[in-house]
Amino acid sequence: MAFEPRIVGFLCNWCSYTGADLAGTSRVKYAPNVRIIRVMCSARIDPTFVLKALSEGADGVLICGCHPGDCHYVEGNYKAVRRFAALKRVLRAYGIEEERVRLEWVSASEGVRFAEIVNDMTERTRKLGPSRVKPQLMADAAAR
Amino acid sequence: MSRRISIDPITRLEGHGKIEIFLDDQGAVEDCYFQIPELRGFERFVVGRPIEELPRIVTRICGVCPASHHLAGAKAVDGCFGDEVPPLAHKLREMYYNAHYIHSHIAHFYALAAPDFILGPDADPAVRNILGVVAKVGLEIGGKVIKARAQAQEIQQIIGGRTTHLVWCLPGGVSKGLKPEELEKIKPMVGELYDFTQFSLKLFREAVLGNPGYVELILNGPYTLQVQNMGLVDENDAPNFYHGKVRVVDCEGKEICKYAPREYADHVAEHVEPWTYLKFPYLKKRGWNGFVEGVDSSLYTATPLARLNVADRMATPRAQEAFEEMFKTLGKKPCQALLACHWARLVEMVQNAETLQRYCADPEITGDAYRVVPKQITGEGVGIVEAMRGTLTHHYTCDPKGICTSANLIVGTTNNNAPIHMVTRKAAASLIKPGVEPTQGILNMIEMAFRAFDPCYSCATHSLPGQMPLEVRIHKNGALYREFRRRC
Amino acid sequence: MADRKLQIALYWGAACGGCDVAVLDTNEFILDVAALADIRLWPIATDGKYRDVEAMADEELDLTIFSGAIRNSENEKMARMLRQKSKLLVAFGSCAHLGGIPGLANLFDLDEILKTAYLSNPSIEPGNSTVPRPHSEAGGHALEIPQLYPRVYKLDQVVDVDYYVPGCPPAPAQVKAVLLAVATGHLPARGSVVGASDRAVCDECGRHKAEKQVQKFYRPWQIIQKPEECLLEQGIPCAGSATRSGCGVRCPNSGMPCRGCYGPLPNVKDQGAKILSALASIIDSRDPEQIERILDDVPDLVGLAYRFGLPASLLQRRIGA
């Protein structure tokens, strides 16, 4: 049986969640691997959420926000950019492949784009294989 | 059929330790192993860290002598930045360090050494500790010792901002200087500490040198080792704990080498055995020849006694008097009678106090020029200081961005790993007699062998029953035959 | 408390001894402790031994103060034994609380550590291929040393812990408060952090704080900092905003930035994530390329964010080879 990546998606309410909704109402076919969590703004994404998702077995994490300049709260997506830039470096130090955690801009009208992002990320994550984070944590705990 | 005596754990040592003694059929000591069961991996996990962070990471190698690691690390980092350090920073560091020495030497002498001498090596174990010492000589001394050590800690706090786990040194100097009002707080304490060093020497003279049995134990007991001596000296061949060249003098008094920190790897190498995590440094040019004594041995000690053995003189006048008195009594120099380390510690304390006095009188000490912004990263540095328990070497390399690419550490007590192993074996072989049950006193006397080295974890001077746990199990024909235990 | 003296133990795992020195730095107070308690095990200072602990009844000890992380089989064995024999087990100091500085080893495989220590370092005996191992033989005798584990654990990843006392080392004043609390029975809910504030270091720090808008970060040696102003505002990364106080702000008061030894604030699951978030949120830029350049000036973000708490983080360690 092929490995089906489990990807957690944090989508901002105003642009990217609406865009994902549009993909649905437009009956666009795309991979079902992303579990969506709606937040009000991409700025809400504390690096803790990403780390928690990975530690609990997510193979990938997708964060979507409004295009720069379009944030409903004016600056929120810029804050997301900064936090994500810092987090990426730490993930690399932990040995987690860069493609497993992604930040993308999706507007409310970009249903097709959202689907393409999900398909692309699903395939890339499938090629990387299951994340070893949770199995390693469980093995460490079981060893003691 | 051999029998096995396990002493586990040993206390007041660098971390954990144990001794395994093997007896032959006659009950004589056939072999003895001194094992260190831990490794944390500092040499590897500092790689990738910004090099300026290392001095505040490597303090966590030891919580009793963290300043030794901080300063050795700081000097290695200095080297990585082209040694651009203003003279005032060096002065302040040396001032701090001499106060640090006093805290540690007080702790060791009063909590670890004094009980054996004030109460006797085979006194009742229940009282052979700092409490028993206080009971015998009075509460006044206990309070005096606590106060002196607290003053030494306070002086460090004022100069460097922290005692345990200093964060003060950085590329280009130190992060804070000494204000005039801070110096005024330090001066009276330094005066009292100097008096305390004289008091300690007097106590030693009366309690130890005034007892012929102890003098005999020091000079002619099983605690001698004919190996070489290592210590840091200044341009006058006097001890300097912060800075200088490493001098190695053999057990007959001949200089073997004198090297600058950058040359350390030409002179010292480390041997590995599978039965202990601690490595065995030796003189590289002579090669590893095993655990052997003699003037040709490649083994050496790095202890207060070794430091004074390699020195031609002390750096300060009252310390010089104490130095001369010590060697006159011991009868020769170098002296390889390891129990004399306890005396050497007290002599060093005098130099520590006089050095502090000198800096207190230095009009530049409260200046502002304690830091510069360094202009270049040169990529490699070796910092050597004398930790209280031996020569400490930190060797770092970094990339052009100042990120650590390697670290090599030869730690104070590590220098003494082979000597401790050997003198413990000697003491056990001499003290455990075939056919005679080892008593509590004998167990303690085996401990006195490594205790002289002041292994890394010296305890503070407080009223805790300062005893080592010892347990001896003697097996005969595979079954437990006798057991001795010494508790607190 | 009852008439009988408290039975206490102080023990160390993968430790440096600084926590023991912190207990002794309470100076005269330790005399009071000695009057109130029998110290049944304290390897740095007394002669209680493993055999004595083995012989104790379950919960015979009122209190064990455990410092140091869990790095090898002996550390784990003693943690379990002392848990069984103690009514209260306190994780004392950063190593027991969070993993501590030894936890940085979780960025490496054990093989790498052994290779550096015993094979490749410049002062190793030429030609050496020996690496210490748990079972070996010498002179016909079998010898043992503990098994090193592939990673470092904090204490509560191995046994249940009743209280946590943070700090590297805990400040002596806090040590005293904790010992008194146990002696008088005035303890908060089990699982609490004691001997520290619930607020950040910034709250205790006396430096002047204004607006944090940083366009360039500096390493501590790159600029001469202004001693009265917030370090972060001057561009020097400081973990104080995401770290518990109670330490007396001893690092910023010496002129050096906080590195987080007192651990996360209440309800924070991952201290490093908060440190990263704090640094990122003060970057004064909207341009992704400029943001990357600004972050390039803070090398080793993982070592900065998780200096004392890598084993306590959500990911706990690097993905192994």
pLDDT tens digits along B301-314:
999 999 999 999 99
Lowest mean per-residue pLDDT among B248-262, B354-368, C10-24, C45-59: C45-59
Chain A residues closer than 8 Å to C270 by CB: 47-48, 51-52
Q: Can you tell me the mean pLDDT for C8-13?
A: 93
CATH code linked to domain A7-143: 3.40.50
DSSP state of C208: B
- Residue with tokens 């210490």, as numbered in its chain: C132
Decide if C295 and A89 are in contact by the 8 Å CB cutoff. yes
Q: Can you tell me the mean pLDDT for C152-158?
A: 98
B-facing residues of C in 214-253 (CB < 8 A) are 219-224, 227, 250-251, 253
pLDDT in tens, C137-153: 998 899 999 999 999 99
Nearest to C237 by CA among B61, B50, A62: B50
B-facing residues of C in 186-205 (CB < 8 A) are none
Q: Is the pLDDT of residue B439 over 80?
A: no
Chain B, nearest residue to C126 by Cα? B269
Decide if C47 and B11 are in contact by the 8 Å CB cutoff. yes
Chain C residues closer than 8 Å to B61 by CB: 16
What is the domain partition of chain A in residue ranges? 7-143
Decide if C320 and A51 are in contact by the 8 Å CB cutoff. no
Chain A residues closer than 8 Å to C318 by CB: 93-95
Contact status of A27 with chain C (Cβ, < 8 Å): no
Contact status of C303 with chain B (Cβ, < 8 Å): yes
Q: Can you tell me the mean pLDDT for B384-412?
A: 96
Determine how many CB atoms are found less than 10 A away from the CB of residue B191: 14
| Rounded Cα distance, A42 and A40, in Å | 7
Q: Can you tell me the mean pLDDT for C93-111?
A: 96
Would you state the pLDDT for residue B462? 21
**Whole-prediction pTM value?**
0.93
Q: Can you tell me the mean pLDDT for B317-331?
A: 96
A-facing residues of C in 60-79 (CB < 8 A) are 70, 76
Q: Can you tell me the mean pLDDT for B189-213?
A: 94
Facing residue for B270 by CB, picked from C20, C125, C221:
C125
Facing residue for C157 by CB, picked from A47, A96, A144:
A144
DSSP state of A76: H
Would you state the pLDDT for residue B488? 37
Find residue B33's DSSP bridge partners.
B20
Would you state the pLDDT for residue C143? 94
More confident residue, B128 or B286: B286
C-facing residues of B in 97-116 (CB < 8 A) are 111
Q: Is the pLDDT of residue B467 over 60?
A: no
Q: Can you tell me the mean pLDDT for B428-447?
A: 83
Would you state the pLDDT for residue B475? 57
Chain C, nearest residue to A48 by Cα? C273
Contact status of B171 with chain C (Cβ, < 8 Å): yes
Give the ipTM of the model, two decimals please.
0.95
More confident residue, C112 or B319: B319
Peptide bond into B374 cis (omega under 30): no
Lowest mean per-residue pLDDT among B283-287, B400-404, C182-186: C182-186
The percent of residues in chain B predicted with pLDDT above 70, rounded, is 90
Segment (H or E) for C303: helix C301-305
Tokens of B364: 């530049």
Would you state the pLDDT for residue A118? 98
pLDDT in tens, C197-251: 999 999 999 999 999 999 999 999 999 999 999 999 999 999 999 999 999 999 9
Q: Is C129 exposed, middle or buried (0-12, 13-18, 19+ CB in 10 A)?
A: exposed
Chain A, nearest residue to C151 by Cα? A140
Facing residue for C47 by CB, picked from B160, B373, B468:
B468
Return the sign of the alpha-carbon dihedral for residues C199, C205, C208, C212. Answer: negative
Q: Can you tell me the mean pLDDT for B112-138?
A: 73
Test the C interface: residue of B158, B464, B468 with most C CBs within 10 Å: B464
Would you state the pLDDT for residue C320? 78
The percent of residues in chain C predicted with pLDDT above 70, rounded, is 98
Q: Can you tell me the mean pLDDT for B247-261?
A: 97
Return the sign of the alpha-carbon dihedral for residues C272, C157, C187, C89. Answer: negative
Would you state the pLDDT for residue B466? 30
Quote the minimal CA–CA distance from C233 to chain B in Å.
18
Lowest mean per-residue pLDDT among B349-358, B476-485, C178-187, C220-229: B476-485
Q: Can you tell me the mean pLDDT for A73-80?
A: 94
- What subunits make at least 3 CB pairs under 8 angstroms with C? A, B
Decide if C315 and A46 are in contact by the 8 Å CB cutoff. no
pLDDT in tens, B16-59: 888 888 988 888 999 999 988 888 899 999 999 999 999 999 99
B119 confidence band (pLDDT: 50, 70, 90): confident
Decide if A48 and C270 are in contact by the 8 Å CB cutoff. yes
Contact status of C288 with chain B (Cβ, < 8 Å): no
Would you state the pLDDT for residue B2? 54
Longest Cα separation, chain C: 70
> Mean pLDDT of all residues in chain B?
89
Facing residue for A133 by CB, picked from C269, C277, C315:
C315
Structural contact between residues C253 and B161, judged by C-beta atoms closer than 8 angstroms: yes
Q: Is the pLDDT of residue B468 over 50?
A: no
| Rounded Cα distance, B214 and B114, in Å | 12
Quote the minimal CA–CA distance from A80 to chain C in Å.
9
